[in-house]
């Protein structure tokens, strides 16, 4: 089964856009499912992640905050 990569962010977040670009690029190499979560309208998620976005989880485990390292992402996805 393919891994699930969840990205928490919000619209008009330049770091979130950069992170999505990396996820989409790596997704062409290694199959995984991307789940995007907008924290804008969820007070609990805003409290949890507010200024730390984007936050990226792989299969529910924290992998990155703020920026995604492409090579580390590849290693994490291959090593699971």
User: Would strands 4-9 and 33-38 be described as parallel, antiparallel, or unpaired?
Assistant: parallel
pLDDT band at 20 (very low <50, low <70, confident <90, very high): very high
pTM score, whole prediction: 0.93
Mention every residue, 6+ apart, whose C-beta is less than 8 A from residue 60. Answer: 4, 6
Contact 32, 77 (CB under 8 A): yes
Q: What integer is the mean pLDDT of 38-45?
A: 95
Which CATH superfamily does the domain covering 4-78 fall into? Answer: Glutaredoxin (3.40.30.10)
pLDDT of 80 strictly over 80? no
pLDDT at 12: 92
Among residues 31, 23, 33, 34, which one has the least CA distance to residue 78? Answer: 31
Q: What integer is the mean pLDDT of 30-54?
A: 95
pLDDT of 58 strictly over 70? yes
Coil, helix or strand for 34?
A: strand
Looking at the chain, the whole-number percentage of residues with pLDDT higher than 90 is: 94
């Amino acid at each position: 089964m393919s891994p699930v990569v969840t990205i928490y962010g919000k619209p008009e977040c330049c770091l979130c856009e950069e992170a999505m670009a990396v996820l989409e690029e790596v997704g062409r190499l290694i199959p995984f499912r991307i789940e995007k979560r907008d924290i804008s309208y969820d007070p609990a998620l805003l409290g949890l992640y507010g200024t730390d976005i984007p936050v990226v989880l792989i299969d529910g485990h924290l992998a990155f905050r703020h920026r995604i390292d492409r090579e580390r992402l590849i290693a994490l996805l291959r090593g699971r």
